[in-house]
Structure 1
């Protein structure tokens, strides 16, 4: 399994989730959020490159995937946080 750059405990605090009943779901959502953020950045995010705005973006996307299971668009603030770190080029 890929490394979680945001712990389940951190995500649960951000989501305001008590108990352990949704830990597997939250762990899966963190991994999906990390993949989403990496795709936007166009580079693989890792622990040594995890700037605070990138970590915040992972938390926001995790929350979005948790709350909006209908396929709604990811909040625009995510792009605002990630734009300075995005690898843009040919």
Structure 2
């Protein structure tokens, strides 16, 4: 899990989580969210990502962490990602 674009420490800070109990869940959420963002962007993300993309990942990790009943993804996530989307015709 060393190849996460957003670290567990960054996610814990964003979510204001203390302790280590939630780290496995956060690592899983970061991986799932990163895959979702790559799918939306239609490109693989490298280790150097633009700040808006990183913010979108953090927002979506927080959303999945806090809303575990399947609520819609906040529109701000796609607003942040859209400028970086690879358009294939």
TM over 0.5: yes
Aligned partner of residue 53 in structure 1, secondary structure: helix
Aligned partner of residue 47 in structure 1, secondary structure: coil
Q: Which residue of 2 aligns with 1:78?
A: 77
TM-score normalized by the length of structure 2: 0.94
Q: Which residue of 1 aligns with 2:22?
A: 22
How far does the alpha carbon of each residue in 1:42-68 deviate from its partner, in whole angstroms, 9 at most, with x for none? 1011113x0100100110111111011
How many residues align? The count is 89
TM-score normalized by the length of structure 1: 0.93
Q: Which residue of 2 aligns with 1:44?
A: 44
Cα RMSD after superposing both structures: 1.2
Structure 1 unaligned residues grouped into runs of 5+: none
Distance 2:45 2:85 in 1: 11
The Cα shift of 1:2 comes to 7.1
Q: Which residue of 2 aligns with 1:55?
A: 54
Aligned partner of residue 87 in structure 1, secondary structure: coil
Distance 1:72 1:46 in 2: 28
